[in-house]
Structure 1
Amino acid sequence: MSKQKKSENKGNTGMWMGICIALGVAFGIMMDNIGIGIALGVAFGAALGSIDMSPKDKEKEE
């Protein structure tokens, strides 16, 4: 059987999306515009989820 290469993505995008959407809904309620709050939550969640927060050792890659 062949070994499958594991993805380097840690899979934390869903966590950030959930947190940011919840915060976006809260801010949307405060601003009396829930649609904008949800949209901003999705945008911030995607941005935070795509950031790689662990330092990479470039020496190991070479």
Structure 2
Amino acid sequence: MFESKDPNKSDNNSNIGLGIGLGMSIGSGVGTALGVAMDNIAMGLPIGIGFGIAIGVAFTKSKEKR
């Protein structure tokens, strides 16, 4: 009859994990291309993954505000 709310469960279904996963996969591709262009893949890959995660998180947060 009465539903108890779980305090750990948020009302909005955030897809932040999906955003991070997509950001990492896209960022790793961009980072590899950036690393090849800079002739240093070991440095380009973390930069690309970092940018991809930041964009993925920002994209999921911007969709929540609408």
Note whether the superposition's TM-score is higher than 0.5: yes
TM-score normalised by the chain length of structure 2:
0.65
Larger helix share, 1 or 2 = 2
Structure 1 outlier segments of 4+, above 6 Å: none
The percent of aligned pairs where both chains have the same amino acid is 36
Amino acid at match of 2:14: N
Unaligned ranges ≥5, structure 2: none
TM-score normalised by the chain length of structure 1:
0.69
Q: Counterpart in 2 of 1:19?
A: 26
The count of aligned residue pairs is 57
Counting only pairs closer than 5 Å after superposition, residues 13-52 of structure 1 correspond to structure 2 as 13-51=20-58, 52=61
Q: Counterpart in 1 of 2:14?
A: 9
Unaligned ranges ≥5, structure 1: 58-62
Q: Counterpart in 1 of 2:65?
A: 56
